[in-house]
Amino acid sequence: MNKEYGILPLREHMNQEDKLSQKKIERYYNLVVLAKDAKAYPNQSGYLVRTAGICEDGTIHLDGNALSDAYIHGETAVLSGLMDKTDSPVEAIAFYKDGPITIDGFGKPCGNCRDILLDCTNPDLVILTGNEKGFVYTRLRDLTFEAFTPLDLSKINPDEVYQGIKALKGAADEYLPKEKQQEKYGAVLVSEQGDMWFGASYTNSTFDAVSPVLSAIIGWYNNYFASCTSGEYPEESLYLSKLLLVGEGSAFHPLYRDRQAILELDEVLRSYTGNGPLRIEMVGIKNDQPIRAWKTTADEWLPYPSTPGAKGMKGIIEKKLDKLINQR
């Protein structure tokens, strides 16, 4: 059988292309084919994610996405299964895909799954997609971006930073581990007219959590609909100018689930305004004073996203926009 494999075309910020040995090709091909037997129960989406994982010691586990009280993604399910079986590092996670395999058809975990994979594996984790005809692969490091552009502190808005500090300090983080408390940040959505909606981390005793950017989006969303009282929608609120994040210290690592949340909103809004991608600013503080700042965009900081826009799901974007502009 002719087994082909491909390597994700690497961008400038990524490491140099790394070739697989023939032994690894066989190992990963077998894993991809094995993933076909994984059980998936996607009651919510109807989209089967059949996944197989392998650790460095050869331990294998099959699993899939499912819906019980909470939505379980294929890659996180297989990761949990592997960790139950062995302490050996996870080497690769494979997705079985029906139909043709193309060089750009590599696996693109959502932001939430990227956070979990980064916490529980390492940047060299191999991510495979394929079937009996072959596979393509990339590594987890290729799906991350931390090379934010430095920003002159004179360019940041003190009022926006003040709101970000309030969001940072207002976090309900009592149930977060200490190391996670040190990584928290506050978020502020800013409109072109200068209106602001801030978002703080929120956790409870069952470890349910709302991340800062998602919190800010919910605040914006609820405020937007609350303003629709006269039969008109507040069009100015659809024109966002930036998202600002504020955290302690001189390093910044925003959650990938937050990156996905703002990109999905930006995809909807830019389809109406024609603006975008949304500007992102990040400010590190010490003793409530800015010490460093960076900038990026909603597109740049989430490489190869798993969003409606990236998947060509134009109908979803149109439905979301219609709900906004036709709210009565």
Domain boundary among 123, 142, 161: 142
Rounded to 5°, the CA angle 315-319-325 comes to: 140
Residues 85 and 163 placed together within one structural domain of the fold: no
CA distance 204 to 214: 16
Residues 15 and 114 placed together within one structural domain of the fold: yes
* Total of domains in the chain: 2
Residues 131 and 40 placed together within one structural domain of the fold: yes
Rounded to 5°, the CA angle 263-267-270 comes to: 125
Domain boundary among 95, 123, 142: 142
Residues 103 and 19 placed together within one structural domain of the fold: yes
Residues 130 and 171 placed together within one structural domain of the fold: no
pLDDT of residue 10: 38
pLDDT of residue 250: 85
Residues 178 and 313 placed together within one structural domain of the fold: yes
Which residues lie closer than 8 Å to 71 by C-beta, 6 or more apart?
44, 65
pLDDT of residue 148: 97
Rounded to 5°, the CA angle 95-100-104 comes to: 70
Residues 154 and 240 placed together within one structural domain of the fold: yes
Residues 222 and 128 placed together within one structural domain of the fold: no
CATH number, domain at 74? Answer: 3.40.140.10
Residues 60 and 175 placed together within one structural domain of the fold: no
pLDDT of residue 277: 97
> pLDDT 10s per residue in the chain (328 long)?
344 556 544 333 334 456 788 898 899 999 999 998 877 676 666 667 888 999 999 999 988 777 643 567 888 889 999 999 999 999 999 999 988 888 888 889 999 999 999 999 999 999 999 998 889 888 999 999 999 999 999 999 999 999 999 999 998 888 887 877 788 999 999 999 999 999 999 988 877 789 999 999 999 999 998 887 766 788 999 999 999 999 999 888 999 999 999 999 999 999 999 998 999 999 999 999 999 999 999 999 999 999 999 989 999 999 999 988 886 5
Residues 201 and 53 placed together within one structural domain of the fold: no
- Judge contact between 76 and 116, C-beta under 8 A: yes
Residues 42 and 172 placed together within one structural domain of the fold: no
pLDDT of residue 243: 98
Domain housing 41: 4-142
Residues 72 and 158 placed together within one structural domain of the fold: no
Domain boundary among 112, 142, 172: 142
pTM (two decimals): 0.90
